[in-house]
Amino acid sequence: MSHQTEYQRWRETTYKKSIERFPERKPKFQTSSGIELPPVFLPPDEDPDYMEKLGFPGEYPFTRGVQPTMYRGRFWTMRQYAGFSTAAESNRRYRYLLANGQTGLSVAFDLPTQIGYDADDPMALGEVGKVGVSISSIEDMATLFDQIPLDKVSTSMTINAPAGVLLAMYIAVAKQQGVEMKALRGTIQNDILKEYVARGTYIFPPAPSMRLITDIFSFCAREVPNWNTISISGYHIREAGSTAAQEVAFTLANAIAYVEAALKAGLQVDEFAGQLSFFFNAHNNLLEEVAKFRAARRMWARIMRERFKAQKPSSWQLRFHTQTAGSTLTAQQPENNVVRVTIQALAAVLGGTQSLHTNSMDEALWLPTEKSVRVALRTQQIIAYESGVADTIDPLAGSYLIEHLTDEIEQRACAYLEKIDALGGAMQAIEQGYPQNEIQNAAYEAQMAIERGEQVVVGVNQFQVNEEVTLERQVIDPAIEAEARARLAKLRETRDNTRVAELRARLESAARGSENLMPLFIKCVEHRVTLGEICNTLRGVWGEYVPPVF
């Protein structure tokens, strides 16, 4: 079949159905010179194997994107990561972002929340509200989403070890708003393996942690079908210093481990695979980053179809969120970060991301101000509405360099997967320190290249200037910690503490057994059992993870 005939077949079937579902944004896509842009460009006729390898957008192996129309149908979700101080302060920031055109929420939690401590716990001293919003109870969660209709907005929550508890709070707040669970859309990160590898906000040992994850898979498959139950994260692996190929490899290795755990727990692959999502970094090497996203999509499609025998096309699709690279931001000449973020965001869009966060120029110095957040959001909007890169699908496909880089990243990532399989899988590799050591070595080499001047960082090792940074600064009021303690004291005084004790006893018993914990989490938070109380109950049963020393 000729490429032209194949293209016509695609236009009449898959693409036509997608247009019916997602009507194209414009009546006509064309350049300023009046040159009409087709939805997708075809390979040269002299390469008969090219089309089979590359495929069409929205079709296996999804090298060119998971939707047939991609951004011609609708733009990616513009989801700015935000959260600081109190729930009330963060709520004001969310409503400000939504008013300025953001299309999805992304919640940053403070460190005590991330590791399962209430704001009045001694372990939380000095950290409440510092790098994210403090959430200890359902009352905090209700304040966080005040005046935000949860059936109308998609919410991502960057939470891992206690992800099930925070999801339970979100579900409970939705119920207070009169919103059914089936109407909720969003994502919890829920990726504990990368915490052991690169980030460190773990609580429990691996076995019970994986049980919590598969409980969420099973519960959401039945009750919250539009929710992404995990965001398998390469972002933090890259922030820790990995290469692009390592980011793909170690992320997919962890994803394989989650799929295997779910299958071992008795789930069928097509029951949960469509609710898996991914989270990648976007760095400065624009073409390598574009190729990385394309390679990851193709690899995952093959893994799911060939290794796990998934039957549904939705199970083969790697859908991902992208965040621009925090590790590339510089405190020196912070305005330069606007340019870095633009390049990185452009790479994500050219690579086919489903949602995107753009970092603010001042994040190497402090929490971003409203103005710097607005500039970051405007960066996405200018790419979407003014650059023209969203007017055709996979616009860099067919470039000799892009296809070469896509193939190279795939080959190198596959080699890592073979090594990890030989070690017994991702968990065994982590226990032996293999990915940690590979990332550390890559980070060391990258830093040495900067220090030797082989890798230029503008404003840091070349083109320096002596200047005083005069940007507006975001300051966290230290009084919020005392206020949070007071709110929790009042909550503990006014709730039914006999019922709380009963629920904690039930939770302890359930943790020793095998029942799905999600329904019990929801019941606990509805009766105002706090995050810390739930996590401390589980700590009493499961203990805490202690990383090995290599």
Asked which of 91-95, 263-267, 303-307, 464-468 is least confident by mean pLDDT, the reply is 464-468
Residue-level pLDDT at 132: 94
Per-residue pLDDT at 469 exceeds 90: no
pTM reported for the whole predicted model: 0.94
**Which tens digit of pLDDT belongs to each residue from 118-158?**
999 999 999 999 999 999 999 999 999 999 999 999 999 99
- Banded model confidence at residue 1, pLDDT cuts 50, 70, 90: low
Q: What percent of the chain has pLDDT over 90?
A: 88
**Predicted pLDDT at 53:** 72
Q: Going edge to edge, which strands form the sheet with 185-188? A: 227-228, 185-188, 154-158, 104-108, 77-82, 355-357, 320-324, 276-282, 230-233
* pLDDT at res. 44: 65
Q: Is 238 exposed, middle or buried (0-12, 13-18, 19+ CB in 10 A)?
A: buried
Residues 6 or more apart in contact with residue 97 via CB below 8 angstroms: 80, 82, 105, 373, 377
pLDDT in tens, 378-394: 999 999 999 999 999 99
CA 85/CA 491 separation, integer angstroms: 19
Task: Give the CA angle between residues 516, 518, 519 to the nearest 5°.
Answer: 95
Is the pLDDT at 13 greater than 80? The verdict is yes
Q: Domain segments of the chain: what residues?
A: 1-23+38-56, 70-451
CB under 8 Å, gap of 24 or more: what pairs does 268-271 form? 269/304, 269/308, 269/309, 269/310, 269/315, 270/310, 270/311, 270/312, 270/315, 271/221
What confidence tens digit (pLDDT) does each residue in 173-222 have?
Answer: 999 999 999 999 999 999 999 999 999 999 999 999 999 999 999 999 99
pLDDT for the residue numbered 531: 98
Residue 265 contacts residue 214 (beta carbons within 8 Å): yes
Let me know: does 278 contact 233? Beta carbons within 8 Å. yes
pLDDT given at position 549: 80
Report the pLDDT value the prediction gives residue 46, as an integer from 0 to 100.
55
pLDDT-derived band at 81 (thresholds 50, 70, 90) equals confident
Beta-carbon contacts of 125 under 8 Å, excluding residues fewer than 6 positions away, are: 481
Check residue 470 and give its pLDDT: 81
**Alpha carbon distance 123, 111 (integer Å):** 10
CATH topology of domain 70-451: TIM Barrel (3.20.20)
3-state secondary structure of 512: helix
Give, rounded to a whole angstrom, the gap between the first and last alpha carbons of the chain.
56
pLDDT, residue 54, reads: 82
Confidence of residue 48 (pLDDT cuts 50, 70, 90): low
Q: What is the pLDDT of residue 518?
A: 98
Burial label, 5 (beta-carbon count in 10 A; 0-12, 13-18, 19+) = exposed
